[in-house]
Amino acid sequence: MPDNVANSPLLEVDDLRTTFTIPTGDVKAVRGVSFTLDRGRTLGIVGESGSGKTVLARSIMRLNLGTNVTTTGTAAFDGNDVLTRSPSEMRQLWGSEMAMVFQDPMTSLNPLVRVQRQVTEHLCRHLNLNRSEARQAAVDLLREVRIPDPDTRLRSFPHELSGGMRQRVCIAVALACEPSLLFADEPTTALDVTVQHQILNLLSREQADREMAMVLVTHDLGVVAGRTDDTMVMYAGTVAEYAPTVSLFADMRHPYSEALMRSIPLTSFPSHTRLAAITGRPPDLIDPPTGCAFSPRCPYVQDHCVNEAPPLVEIDDPAHRLACWTPVGSPEALTAFEKNLAAGLPQAVAVDVSTTWSPTGGVDG
């Protein structure tokens, strides 16, 4: 591989916007997202439902089906924009270069087809293997994703496998042709906590062994912590904060990241710890707010926040990017918070009455 290719980012997304047209209007699901992902790195995309995290991943994979979807911007994979590729060119890319693991392992496998064919289908198409070679490759893959007794399992139908097993099969299918980029869209949300742990370990192991880049999409901050190099926090179709995972968790600067963190109960908290819930609801993406999307729920909101959307800019640490006018911990934030509290703004009051929270404090409870 030439040096210049190896050094350029694997994926470079610039101002990606995805809109769904529905009878009641245009849902702006992704509203201008830019990021880069280097080879062999892992990126965690965290957000709640409606944050656009899944739509973003599917837009890059060109898997947003339907005629009512428009995607603009660029998503350069290996230097070539995938958004302008023809369907047949995309088919070349799917499986061999980019692959995806979905949330629901039951629906992403064809219930009428045995595991063997689901796994070997891609192998045959992309690697031109004959039947026995493909079968051997499938056995190896199942063994690699730690499925016990792979020879028997190849003859099973998906419904004969447990949820965790099915997700392992999906991972095997995704890894079959050695992709250089794997999207894992909430891969463990449907699974039990012990199985989730195994699957995440498996994904981390495979990612490291294959030097494959991975995008881990999840709603759970706990899933990205310790498993990703960088984390991107999304809110209402935009990037709120983007930073190396370690520095993000050490110093959450966006009020939304902070609030999200505050609202999760941790096993380290004593029982009956009052949680700092985020008041209100995410904005309507048909008619999103002109200013910062989080401003209606933000305890530090000022007039400026409502009127103008903050750009995503680098702060002190160049790798730490933030879209906020009043970052957590800044003097402006403190002044704004006290003013909001005095004015009795519900989101400020809600934060104030919670026992674990202090407006000047860092992330640690």
Q: Report the interface residues with another protein, using CB under 8 A.
A: 23-25, 48-49, 146-148, 162-165, 168, 192-198, 200-202, 204-205, 219-223, 225-227, 245-246, 249, 259-279, 281
- Count other C-beta atoms under 10 Å from residue 2's C-beta: 7
Specify whether the CB–CB gap between 130 and 138 falls below 8 A.
no
Q: Which two tokens stand for residue 183?
A: 């999207």
Beta carbon of residue 130, minimum distance to another protein (angstroms, whole number): 30
- 84 vs 64: CA distance, rounded Å: 14
CA 110, 116, 121, 126 dihedral sign is positive
Beta carbon of residue 44, minimum distance to another protein (angstroms, whole number): 10
Of the candidates 325, 218, 340, 362, the residue with the CA atom closest to the CA atom of residue 279: 340
**Number of Cα atoms under 13 Å in the Cβ half of residue 197:** 2
Beta carbon of residue 205, minimum distance to another protein (angstroms, whole number): 7
Determine the 3-state secondary structure of 268 from DSSP: coil
Nearer to another protein, 46 or 61 (CB): 46
Nearer to another protein, 16 or 221 (CB): 221
- 150 vs 194: CA distance, rounded Å: 22
Nearer to another protein, 82 or 348 (CB): 348
Specify whether the CB–CB gap between 39 and 213 falls below 8 A.
yes
Nearer to another protein, 335 or 355 (CB): 355
Amino acid (1-letter code) at residue 238:
T
Beta carbon of residue 48, minimum distance to another protein (angstroms, whole number): 4
Beta carbon of residue 320, minimum distance to another protein (angstroms, whole number): 14
Nearer to another protein, 282 or 359 (CB): 282
Nearer to another protein, 46 or 98 (CB): 46
Beta carbon of residue 225, minimum distance to another protein (angstroms, whole number): 5
Radius of gyration of the chain (CA): 22
